[in-house]
Structure 1
Amino acid sequence: MNLHSQITKLKPNDVQSFNLLERSLRKAVHPIFEMLLLPSNAEDADVRRHLYAATEALASYQDGLVPTVDLDRFPPDVFIHGKPASIVGYENLYQRRMRVIPVVALHADTLARARMAEVAEAHGQGLCIRLLDEDIMSLPEQAAKSVTEIVRDVRLNISEVDILLDCAKLGRYDDDHIALSVIRLLMFFNRAGIRCRRITFAGSSIPKLITEVVEQKHSHGAISRAELAIWTRICRAYGWGRLGFADYGIVRPGHTDSAPVIHINGKLRYTVGAKTHFFRGCSRVELPLADQYPDIVKAMVGSGHYLGPAYSHADKYYRQVADDLTTTGNTGKWVTLDMNHHLAYVSRQLSALVRLPERELSSAERVESFIESFA
């Protein structure tokens, strides 16, 4: 089982962050690509453009693990030529020789399950069942029953099934409550005989606005990676190596492109230790973003958190910008870079963590200390 997954938007810059990983890491990180949510007031032409953009973004994915892909991001009853838009999307991927692990929601009805069974059979890579935080927190016994029913309805062996426990944006529930609820759900899975290919816990502490972390312009702040702390607590109770970890990288779960943002701030997000660091510039209304980034990057490189140019493709680029050897690019490029560093760092951090001796892994203090000091 690949321990590390990441939920990533199906956008070219986000997908590119995987392609820029060194080869060994591309084979270690399992991508979970999700299409951006389509607004409920979208026209038919918007639906087709939205699906085409997602397909083209996925087509740029190179030489990594077979990705999980969630295209069920349309409003209800959105059809193309009489078929649900998401099913058309999976068929398009198949026709373009792109094989993926499709995603079905826990509460999909019988007809939706039958359609996904056909998709999963065609792609031949299994199926992912996605549970949301309310599924995990409220009725775990019913959730385990629903998983069993889906596996029966799609006619797959349980060893071909992945389960994604997606808490998405953390903060709605207390972290301890989330950990205990996930442990309880996993116990119900065990009792129901659910021995699937991979179970992954996912969550994100990334805020909607940078001002939630950094109030002052041209300054620095940090937030704790709560999703990692929750996961380590679950693993200490449930067992290391049995539960995968996923986050949303440096992008918040609810991100959409549906509305233009006037006051975009120049910013750099840098993952190290148990925190995500935010280096903030100012609104692009005050200063063009291209003019902000050299100073933002220099602030990060000189902050003591920077891990050096050899750490990742992104870190090499940061050094070049800090040394005035290259231009800074557009905002999309910085999503690619910040995500690329994050992927490289988390993959190495998790790999090193689970190799610790059992007596180290059984201690919350030692696990926290290792995570905080890892470089």
Structure 2
Amino acid sequence: MAPTYLPILKSLTSEYEASKHMDVAHAAAIHPLFDVPVISENRQKAKKYQNSPTPKCDYLDEVAESVAKYWKGPLVLADAFNWAPDATVETGEHALAYLHASLKGQGVTVAPVVGYDRWDDQIYQLAMRGLDLSDAPYVCLRLEASAIEDAAEPDVFHDRIHEILEDMQLVPAGCAVLLDLGDLTSKSLMDITGDATRVLELLIEYGFRYIATAGSSMPKSVDLAVKKKDSTAKVIRKEMLLWQALRTEFSGISLVFGDYGVRGPGSNDAIRNPNANAKIRYTCDKAFLVSRGHSVVGGWALQMSAVATEIVNSKEFLPGFSWGDQVIADCSNGLPVKNGHGKWIAYDTSHHLAFVVAEVQEFERVLTLATRATTA
């Protein structure tokens, strides 16, 4: 079975907290790709890492424990795109191989991710070939920038796909493909659609388990989304417009929607900035409604009620829809809520995950009705 939704989520506390409060039915429809960030400087300074002879192993074990503890769905995908392709842990084992083993050791059903763009690295190749796939639900091929470029020369593209499949002894029916378009903020919808269409036309002949498209229209900082402080604006989710157009055009394949949650691949949220602005990124129909406050130097509580009220008073707000929605409503009413950048990412992500599942399911329902009407 293909998932309803494939979000690419950072393996950080905010995403875990959102996962903890997710409805079980929503989690069952999602195959999240947890992308493990490199170890931050703040984390490296923690005593348990400074005093450990194996901080990388400890960090990846901590990621695996958190995923096992909080994710309620049937499986996860796991990757570490921002690590060097040849990254190893202290034992000499490849970082991704160690992560997969640690997740499995925690009882997590994990679908390995293989990077098209990283396949040129010999260490990476050896590590991927050596993965134990005996109980993997499937393998996901992650196609990024170089794959999109190669698609302009079909022979080059097909050679690489065949090489990965043959070297890892995979059959397409046991594989999914993720077309990861990354940061979409500076790209036109026409160009994005052209790139995705070209790749999909080359992939159709393989018979992959499913193909997912993913990208993010959310800028890396709130001032790029909402120019004025203490105001709101909408950011169009080009990734959803893209998927809906492709889903209609390529109706004969299993095409899954994917995105980067509420913070894109270039997000600054992991960097502590005391002068950052308070904000809520509220997912709505094909857009994000972004409510921007001002610098949090004076404290969160002084302004978050007003920021939340902008969302609650909008026609897009869905009372009681998710844990995140309830927190936003409580905050707008002056009730005490836990504040901080990470907390609001968690609340925003909670609403986002629930909303996207419902949004995709509704589009599929309408598309099915339209298809039946035209064939009747």
Residue in structure 2 matched with residue 69 of structure 1 by the alignment:
78
TM-score, length basis structure 1: 0.86
- Cα 1:9–1:123, aligned 2, differ >3 Å: closer, same or farther? farther
Residue in structure 1 matched with residue 60 of structure 2 by the alignment:
51
- Identify which range, 106-115 or 268-277, moves more after superposition: 106-115
CA deviation vs aligned residue, 1:76-128 (integer Å, no higher than 9, x gap): 54322222222222222223332311111114146533432432415422211
- Cα 1:299–1:244, aligned 2, differ >3 Å: closer, same or farther? same
1:265 to 264, 270, 277: 277
Structure 1 segment 119-138 matched on structure 2, within 5 A: 119-138=131-150
Residue in structure 2 matched with residue 346 of structure 1 by the alignment:
356
Instruction: Give the residue type in structure 1 aligned to 2:316.
Output: H
Structure 1 segment 197-346 matched on structure 2, within 5 A: 197-239=209-251, 242-255=254-267, 259-285=271-297, 287-309=298-320, 311-346=321-356
- Identify which range, 28-37 or 238-247, moves more after superposition: 238-247
Task: Return the offset for 1:182.
Answer: 1.7
Task: Return the offset for 1:314.
Answer: 1.3
CA deviation vs aligned residue, 1:43-78 (integer Å, no higher than 9, x gap): 986634543443333233332130111135322543
CA deviation vs aligned residue, 1:182-222 (integer Å, no higher than 9, x gap): 222222223xx411112100010000111112122111111
Task: Return the offset for 1:260.
Answer: 2.8
Residue in structure 2 matched with residue 96 of structure 1 by the alignment:
106
TM-score, length basis structure 2: 0.86
Task: Return the offset for 1:24.
Answer: 1.4
CA deviation vs aligned residue, 1:158-190 (integer Å, no higher than 9, x gap): 222111100010145432122122222222223
Residue in structure 1 matched with residue 167 of structure 2 by the alignment:
153
Is contact 1:167-1:202 (8 Å) kept? yes
Cα distance in structure 2, aligned partners of 1:357 and 1:85? 42
**Aligned-partner SS, 2:161:** helix
- Cα 1:272–1:257, aligned 2, differ >3 Å: closer, same or farther? closer
**Aligned-partner SS, 2:133:** helix
- Cα 1:257–1:88, aligned 2, differ >3 Å: closer, same or farther? farther
Is contact 2:292-2:307 (8 Å) kept? yes
Instruction: Give the residue type in structure 1 aligned to 2:83.
Output: F
Instruction: Give the residue type in structure 2 aligned to 1:212.
Output: L
2:157 to 143, 161, 164: 143
Instruction: Give the residue type in structure 1 aligned to 2:336.
Output: T
1:181 aligns with 2:225: no
Number of matched pairs:
357
Task: Return the offset for 1:340.
Answer: 0.8
- Cα 1:327–1:186, aligned 2, differ >3 Å: closer, same or farther? closer
**Aligned-partner SS, 2:141:** strand
Identical aligned residues as a percent? 24
Instruction: Give the residue type in structure 1 aligned to 2:332.
Output: A
Residue in structure 1 matched with residue 47 of structure 2 by the alignment:
none
RMSD between superposed Cα atoms in Å: 2.6
Task: Return the offset for 1:318.
Answer: 1.8
Is contact 1:241-1:354 (8 Å) kept? no
Cα distance in structure 2, aligned partners of 1:134 and 1:221? 33
Contiguous gaps of at least 5 residues in structure 1: 363-375
Cα distance in structure 2, aligned partners of 1:75 and 1:245? 27
Cα distance in structure 2, aligned partners of 1:17 and 1:237? 33
**Aligned-partner SS, 1:103:** strand
Instruction: Give the residue type in structure 1 aligned to 2:220.
Output: K
Contiguous gaps of at least 5 residues in structure 2: 45-49
- Identify which range, 78-87 or 243-252, moves more after superposition: 78-87
Cα distance in structure 1, aligned partners of 2:269 and 2:194? 35
- Cα 1:159–1:298, aligned 2, differ >3 Å: closer, same or farther? same
Instruction: Give the residue type in structure 2 aligned to 1:147.
Output: I
